Structure 1
Amino acid sequence: MPGSLPGSRPGSLPGSAPGPIPARRPVRARAPARSRSMSRFLIGPFATPMAMFLLTFALILAHQGRLLEMTFMPMGCAVAYWLYRRYPAHYLSYVCWLFFLTPEVRRFADFFNGAFNSTSIIMMTPFVAASLCGISMVLNYRQLGQRRAAPLIMLLIAVAYGYVLGVAQFGIVPATYTMVGWVQPIFIGWYIMQNWRLYPQFRQVLFKTFVWGTILMGFYGIYQYVSPPPWTIFWLAQSGMESSSGSPVPFGMRICSTMNSAGPFSMTMMVGLLMSIASPSKLKIAAGIAGVPALLFTAVRTSWGAVVIGLIYPLAMLDVRSRLRLIMAILLFAGLCTPMLLIDQITAPLAKRMATIGNLSEDNSFQARQGFYTNFASIAEESFAGHGLGSTGLAAKLADPHAQIIASLDSGVVDIVWVLGWGGGLLYVTGLVALLWRAFLASLARPGDRFAISVVGVAIAILAIMVMIDTMQGSSGMYFMFGVVMPVIGVRYSREQQRRNEAIARARRRRRA
């Protein structure tokens, strides 16, 4: 510094003894970005789920099917609870992956056990893990009286009514088994609503989850179609699903990939493709290459139509630039999958399946559903009060064999009326419509949010095909909740950010004045 003597401390007077030099605070070396990201990976929300899946894989390689069946559910629920408490966005991703992969784990366990277990406890893991969100509803029960929670309360009251009826007629076990599938989407919706401040994380994590899930499950499904693995062959033969899933031979089966059957897998591929198209990631090209053929190989025409329904809404709501990008992505997906149509073994069954869409008079599935609706009208009039949870689906196997039950219903609308009656069914449907209407208004408020608009399209598609299949339980019910709650919390988060920015701007103006 000018005016100071050599060797003197800056700021000291000339000729004076130099004062003590203050000790400098040690400067910590900043870790490289790569090491920081690696440390976050090792101690963050990826390490524990990855350790669980690696342990599961090790048990599979060791042919410890019995041990895997006993330990998978406790491990899965423990990891889910840890993520639920610390990483809400990754908790939702983890639950999605449990729905994606748990049926395949069950097949491995049965295959290496050498015996098929029709009531494997492994299959309850994703439902129980997703139902942990109910803890949030219990802890925040005072917020249940808010207006934004009214649609979810309608659903919860209707399900509670059905549960009371089910316990009275079929017992606690069948009613509780069914109730888990019904309330799990409601709990998911409430959990997302409570963590609305994490909307950017939800959007980012769910985009990655469905893009990667579509890639992995899609390619595995293609492999399953071309060369069915032995555990899939064993499972189809022992479960008695060959009549609906086809023969487990190359090019002869309706694929289910890692999921339980072609129906849930096709629904997941439909959601994954719609999410991938809206994703900013370049991996959406790989998702299209894997997802489109996999969806076609399921031979589930309802999901084919759901993709079309789910695309209509984004095409109508997006701005011109985003709409053109969406159209280009659709054309790209179609173009990349065109070469497979040159293979006769692939083209023949697909053409035969597609031909039934335009000829409903010869469509056995459609005729069966039409006859079912006709015959069920008189039954529904006689069951005004409903039959309760546990009267349909897999829970019917746990009920009294002499009770009046229906093993399965091919329509979500009919299932709601049969289980909940006319009063409970009306309350349940009103809640669903209210959720969808709020999501529609929220997407109108933010036309630039491609994620929100794409998930509303998913919700519309899922609700539209309820006349054909039951879509409000399990994984499809969770996807519906993503579609109707995410746009709403997106608007709330955007408004909160806008208010905060305005408050900061006012504070700065006051300081300057």
Structure 2
Amino acid sequence: MGRMLVTPSRAAQLAVPKPLKPPGPPYGEAPAPPPAATSGTPTKGLRHPLRLPLALFAVTLLLVLLHQGRLVEFFFPLGAFGVALVLYWRSPAHYLGFVCWLFFLTPEVRRLADFVNGAFNDQSPIMVAPLLAVALTGLTLLKHVTLLGQRRAAPLVLIVIALFYAYVIGMAQVGPAPATYTLINWLYPVMVAFYLTVTWRHYPDYHRVLLKTFVFGGLLMSLYGLLEFVSPMPWDAFWLIASKMQSEGQPVPFGMRVSSTMNSCGPFAVTLMALLLMSFAARGKARIVLGCVGIPALLLTSARSTWGGFAIALVYSFAMLDGKSRLRLLAGVLGLAVMATPLMMIDQVAEPVMARFSTMQDLGQDNSYQARAEFYKSFFSSAFTDIAGQGFGSIGLGTKLSDNKSQAMVDFDSGLMEVPFVMGWPGTLLYTTGVLMLMWRAYRASRLHPTDLMAVSGVGVAVAIFSMMIFINTLTSVSGMFFFLGVTLPVISLRYARECQTPRPASGAVARRVEQYLKKVR
């Protein structure tokens, strides 16, 4: 008697909060980790995770000051690997942040070492440092290989199969060295995405650490880039002359295209664009300062494709944000435009920027556009009619390791053409399917969890980088890493919000009805 009938909707109301409005922080703030999310004690035994990276860079700088460039070539990669190994086991978020810092600063360490050595090393061991650090994500794949059989890993599996298909073809066509080098540059961004997928419970740490890395990393590189443009450092001038990269400008004041601490202006422009977009999710005055110095630095790279990608990402973010955040974004853009106006009145600053803008208005006189149009005409038929593909190592920097260097094609001015050219029809179908699935999942996740600005910004970064594929392959190396970060962070953010912040209902018939209800609304 007196037995109360519990309907599914009533049970769901009593057992869990409304799933359409998941508990979350205010805009731009990371969610607090519940006990379930910290069961792995991510920073156990590592009270000061920044000490090791700071010590590594401090010792490296000391060796440079002592003119021990040869010693730096061996110490820095080994030290970076050791620090990455400690952080990998103790703190996933700080490990990934350290990997980002290595990609930011390693080229500058290489320039300093070459400068004190007095000789340009075309194959410097220093450049291996970030690759050694990011290679540790392969251990995660070995430990969690069973995850590849789950539906959430399906896009990554399709991409990896396509990459190894192109690798096998490349091994047969050009040999193991160029094919392996190219595979590494295509594969490690995917491994970073897999690492994030496995360690999704650390998302609050990722939110906090990566945002600080993006803001302060972008701030450091922007300030150095502006200084490099106004007054090039001796080691930067030495590097530009020795590398014979004529497209980077002249090593004189107001004559260089800004590349800051990275290899060239192209990778730096894409990296800075991603950091500026991700900084929308940060708080504090540092992100405002980043905008003030980052936008001029981005303009001075003279990378028109990145300018276009940045504009596309701004439009996307403006469309996806809520009303209050839209006003903030609009006010920020207008404020930066007003602050940049006096800077553009300086002839030495305005001249290179306006010259690049003028070429966008008159494409008939743009040599770069004409060359790219001719390239599309000549390679369109071969890229789409070669069913098997040419394989990894047939184009790009990997060709420098080929025995037949006379036919090496280092520059390939189209990412859209490069994918079918190296992967053929089978690899292209698998690769594009996996990439589009990742982008769709990231978009849906950001719409279902709009309280996380980092998720919205991540999708904006992915859209910007993907849109630039028409000019160059942006899904590899550093730009590829930011693409896969952008499409993975929204997914693990949503999963964290659902599985860590939503209590589980009790067992029994009512629980099954509640689970069915949650599946419908989710």
TM-score range, shorter chain: 0.7 to 0.9
Counterpart of 2:178 in structure 1 is: 174
Secondary structure in 2 aligned to 1:491? helix
Quote how far apart the aligned CAs of 1:497 are.
Answer: 2.7
Distance 1:42 1:248 in 2: 43
Does the CA-based 8 Å contact 1:224-1:257 persist in structure 2?
A: yes
Measure, in 2, the Cα distance between the counterparts of 1:40 and 1:250: 49
Q: Give, in whole Å, the separation in 1 of the partners of 2:234 and 2:265.
A: 18
Deviations 1:285-339 (A, max 9, x none): 1101210111011000111111111111211111111111111122222222222
Displacement of 1:406 in angstroms is: 2.1
Determine whether 1:410 maps to 2:401. no
Partner of residue 332, structure 2:
329
Task: State the distance in 1 between where 2:505 and 2:269 align.
Answer: 46
* C-alpha separation in 2, matches of 1:235 and 1:438: 42
Supply the distance in 1 between the matched residues of 2:429 and 2:113 (Cα, whole angstroms).
41
Which residue does 2:478 correspond to in 1?
Answer: 475
Q: Please give the residue correspondences for 1:95-494 in structure 2 after superposition, counting only pairs within 5 Å.
A: 95-241=99-245, 243-401=246-404, 405-494=408-497
Q: Which sections of structure 1, spanning at least 5 residues, go unmatched?
A: 1-38, 508-513
Q: CA deviation at 1:71?
A: 1.6
| Unpaired stretches in structure 2, ≥5 consecutive residues | 1-42, 512-522
Tell me the SS of whatever aligns to 2:360: coil
Is 1:76 paired with 2:109?
no
Q: Secondary structure at the match of 1:499?
A: coil
Shift of 1:382: 4.7
- Distance in 1 (CA, whole Å) between partners of 2:84 and 2:199 is 16
Q: Specify the code of the residue in structure 2 equivalent to 1:164.
A: V
Cα displacement (A) at 1:402:
6.5
Paired residues in the alignment total: 467
Is the contact between residue 383 and residue 418 of structure 2 (CA under 8 Å) also seen in structure 1?
no
Deviation at 1:410, TM superposition (A): 1.5
* AA matched with 1:232: D
Q: Is the 8 A contact 2:384 2:424 kept in 1?
A: no
Letter in 2 for 1:189: A
Shift of 1:403: 8.0
Matched to 1:79, the amino acid is V
CA contact (8 A) 1:314 1:453 kept: yes
Distance in 2 between residues matched to 1:384 and 1:270, nearest whole Å: 35
Is contact 2:222-2:294 (8 Å) kept?
yes
Counterpart Cα distance in 2 of 1:283 and 1:125? 28
Could you tell me how far 1:500 is from its partner in structure 2?
A: 2.2
Task: Return closer, same or farther for 1:502/1:449 CA change in 2, 3 Å cut-off.
Answer: farther
Contact 1:391 1:404 in 2 (8 A): no
Which stretch of the first structure deviates more once superposed, 319-328 or 181-190?
319-328
Cα distance in 2 for residues equivalent to 1:214 and 1:124: 22
- 1:99·1:126 contact (CA, 8 Å) conserved in 2? yes
Quote the Cα distance in structure 2 between the aligned partners of 1:315 and 1:41: 42
Could you tell me the TM-score, scaled by structure 2's length? 0.86
Deviation at 1:128? Answer: 2.5
**Residues 127 and 474 in structure 1, CA contact (< 8 A), matched pair in contact too:** no
Q: Which residue of 1 aligns with 2:28?
A: none
Deviation for aligned residue 1:502: 6.1
**2: CA distance between counterparts of 1:129 and 1:302?**
29
* Paired residue type of 2:83: V
Counterparts of 1:252 and 1:314, CA distance in 2:
34
Q: Which has the higher contact order (CA 8 A, sep 6+)?
A: 2
| CA distance in 2: counterparts of 1:338 and 1:373, whole angstroms | 37
CA-to-partner distance for each residue in 1:68-108, whole Å, 9 max, x for gaps? 01221111111111111111011111111001000001111
How far apart are the structure 2 equivalents of 1:439 and 1:208? 22
The amino acid across from 1:125 in the alignment is A
Q: Is the 8 A contact 1:471 1:477 kept in 2?
A: yes
Which amino acid letter does the alignment assign opposite residue 91 of structure 1? Y
Distance 1:67 1:300 in 2: 35
| Partner Cα distance (2:81, 2:367) in 1 | 41
Which secondary structure state, in structure 1, belongs to the residue aligned with residue 285 of structure 2?
Answer: coil
Identity of aligned residues (%): 50
Superposition deviation, residue 201 in structure 1? 1.1
CA distance in 2, matches of 1:117, 1:110: 7
Shift of 1:161: 0.7
Counterpart CA distance in 2 for 1:135 and 1:379 is 38
Q: Using the alignment, how far apart are the partners of 2:349 and 2:44 within structure 1?
A: 45
For the residue of structure 1 that corresponds to 2:188, the secondary structure is helix
> What is aligned with 2:70?
66
Separation of aligned partners in 1, 2:267 and 2:406: 28
Q: Secondary structure at the match of 1:337?
A: helix
- Cα shift readout 1:168-195 (whole Å, capped 9, x = no counterpart): 2222222111111111011000000001
| Paired AA for residue 465 in structure 1 | M
**1:141 Cα deviation after fit:** 0.7
Q: Give me the whole-angstrom Cα distance separating, in 1, the residues matched to 2:256 and 2:173.
A: 39
